[in-house]
Amino acid sequence: MAINTSFIESLFFGNIDPQARAVKPGSRADKLRIFITDHLPEIENALPDEQRGVLDKILDAQGELDTISERDSFILGFRLGAAFTYDTFVNTATPYRDLSEKL
């Protein structure tokens, strides 16, 4: 029997992974991934050993920077969503008044 849980409970228990996404085959992202995967060994093999280490450090740093950027975008998205929800359901300020309101 399935247990009904709230969205927040599902998120808390790790049943929702907002970043679990697959790249669509043939998409621009897929083509870029394939290009990098196909050409990176060529670059690595052309470098002397000491420069390969530098390249590895650069790629690691880029991966860490990507993670920081993705996390920031994820947080910003939640904040924008919360602001949108607040403005939609809580904020009643408008530049006009209802005609039914008394002056």
Read off the DSSP letter of residue 3.
Answer: P
Name 19's Cβ contacts closer than 8 Å, sequence gap at least 6.
Answer: 70, 74
44 and 55 in contact (C-beta within 8 Å)? yes
The mean pLDDT values, 10 residues at a time, for the chain of 103 residues are 71 81 93 95 92 94 94 91 89 77 68
Name 8's Cβ contacts closer than 8 Å, sequence gap at least 6.
Answer: none
Residue 64 Rama label (left phi>0; alpha psi -120 to 50; beta): alpha
Looking at residue 4, its pLDDT comes to 66
Looking at residue 28, its pLDDT comes to 97
Looking at residue 16, its pLDDT comes to 84
Looking at residue 1, its pLDDT comes to 41
